[in-house]
Amino acid sequence: MAEDAKALLARVRAEVQAGGGTNRLVPLIASGGAPMGALRALAAEEDRIVRSDWRAFLTFAAQSTGPAQREFFAAVAGGEGLALAKLSDFAAACGLTPQDVAAYRPLPGCQAYPSYVARLALDGNPHDALLVILANFAEWGGYCATIATALREHYGFDDAGCAFFDFFAEPAPELDALGLRALDEVLATGWTPTAALPSAHLLHAYELMFWNTLPTTP
């Protein structure tokens, strides 16, 4: 029996997690031990990432041949647009002005993640990209939930300052269902995930590189 989308996604997520790697910053934020400099850098780096991913997801949507796949990428792109407005509130809570964010010099290890997503868009294979992006969603959402709680408990941030992380931490059953429907749609074309698996591992590694590049000392 052919593997369905739910089983495939569970398998790939397990394989990626088994590849190892530790996020050093999120536990520090969770305990209140991360310096404000790390949070400020996180805000400024994310400003670049959200803008880049927004464009990449729109490109994936334009490349998609199936309606569910196209709808999924368009929905995710729309979410990036909503998140960008919330991100400015997080930056302000960190003490950054829009001018500060614009003047910030991004770190190569942080920008490897969006650069790779942009490369996937340039490669023009939305089928592979769909699996790669879906495989990373749960991990990112978990990090955001942890950070949202910690910002309130240890850093005194209000709801506006936490809204960016709340947005990604909230369960999105309709989007999850759409992603699975899109993946089933892609599987029905005869596509196989073999070529996408290395990309899923790379994106996971770049995700960890992002967090581990951010400063952990004042």
Residues in the chain: 218
Helix%, strand%, coil% for the chain, nearest 5:
80, 0, 20
DSSP summary character for residue 45: H
Task: Kindly compute the dihedral angle of the four CA atoms of residues 123, 126, 128, 134, in this order, to the nearest 10 degrees.
Answer: 130
Handedness of CA 118, 114, 77, 133 (dihedral sign): positive
What is the reported pLDDT for 48?
Answer: 98
What pTM did the predictor assign?
Answer: 0.95
Handedness of CA 75, 68, 196, 20 (dihedral sign): positive
Task: Kindly compute the dihedral angle of the four CA atoms of residues 21, 152, 79, 37, in this order, to the nearest 10 degrees.
Answer: -60
What is the reported pLDDT for 2?
Answer: 58
At CA 108, angle to CA 105 and CA 111, rounded to 5?
Answer: 90
Exposure string over 56-92, b if 16+ CB within 10 A, otherwise e: bbbbbbebbebebbbebbbbbbebbeebbebbbbbbb
Structure tokens at 80: 């990036």
Question: Looking up tokens 């429907």, which residue turns up?
Answer: 181
What is the reported pLDDT for 104?
Answer: 98
Structure tokens at 19: 């590849």
H or E element in which residue 26 lies: helix 25-31
Residue 155: how many other CB atoms lie within 10 Å: 17
Domain boundaries, the chain: 5-18+35-213
* Fold of the domain spanning 5-18+35-213: Heme Oxygenase; Chain A (1.20.910)
Structure tokens at 30: 């969770």
- pLDDT tens digits in sequence order for the chain, 218 residues long: 457 999 999 999 999 989 888 999 999 999 999 999 999 999 999 999 999 999 999 999 999 999 999 999 999 999 999 999 999 999 999 999 999 999 999 999 999 999 999 999 999 899 999 999 999 988 899 999 999 999 999 999 999 999 999 999 998 999 999 999 999 999 999 999 999 999 999 999 999 999 999 999 87
